[in-house]
Amino acid sequence: MANYKNYTNKEMQAITIAKEITDGQIVIVGTGLPLIGASLAKRIFAPNCKLIVESGLMDCSPIEVPRSVGDCRLMAHCGVQWPNIRFIGFEANELLNGNDRMIAFIGGAQIDPYGNVNSTCIGDYHHPKTRFTGSGGANAIATYSNTVIMMQHEKRRFIDQVDYVTSVGWGDGVGGREKLGLPGNRGPIAVVTDRGILRFDEKTKRMYLAGYYPTSSIEDIIENTGFEIDTSRAVLLEAPSEDVIKMIREEIDPGQAFIKVPVEE
């Protein structure tokens, strides 16, 4: 008999993503956990949200989680199939018309206290220790949209200064985006990790711990963060219901493409 009480940190992460989406929002997602979270939001928390992907597919309603942004499971259940350039124009148009209905999910290899993300390289740009795939659409998304950043919570990823700024967060703090010529009314609103959720202080724009999972702790998060982090506002997040875990495993990701179900001993 299936056990839906033994949820994993990845499932908790996907659920936390889902709860960041509000009803009626336009949600820019990629594959993996963000799409699982967005699919869950559309089923439970925000049924009127609209999912869009950078390949140009708009108002997607996948039956189960696709493997890529060009997957037929996205194409078969979407409102419009636009070319990629129309997607980029749509992002810019939302900003230029003063609309504040869009939220986007991006990831990376490193992040600093102000939400600046590196997905380009580790080490010197010209002689890197590791080279990653780079921005893709993340830089434009971070420019035009409010973002939720997906990260694994490790000290080597949460550092004082990233090796390369691929996607600008709040720059060097208050006014940082404006100094770079970016809109100050857009920026990162949260970081969702496999240990909890972090937000940004309205006055300083510096990251703080907002909540931690039942499988984690404040001490655990401090130990795995490479800079000083305010934990005074942190709360213990509620464990997921069995119904939600069942939906993830049986409806959204039944093939375990992105979340592996724990093996019962």
Catalytic residues: 54
d(CA 122, CA 68): 26
Q: How far is CA 241 from the centre of its chain?
A: 22
Pick the closest to residue 78 from 61, 53, 54 (CA basis). 61
What does residue 17 show for φ and ψ, rounded to 5 degrees?
-60, -50
Helix (H, G, I), strand (E, B) or coil at 131: strand
CA dihedral of residues 57, 63, 65, 68 (deg, nearest 10):
-30
d(CA 256, CA 258): 6
- What is residue 200's DSSP assignment? E
d(CA 75, CA 223): 43
Answer whether 252's CB lies under 8 Å from 64's CB.
yes
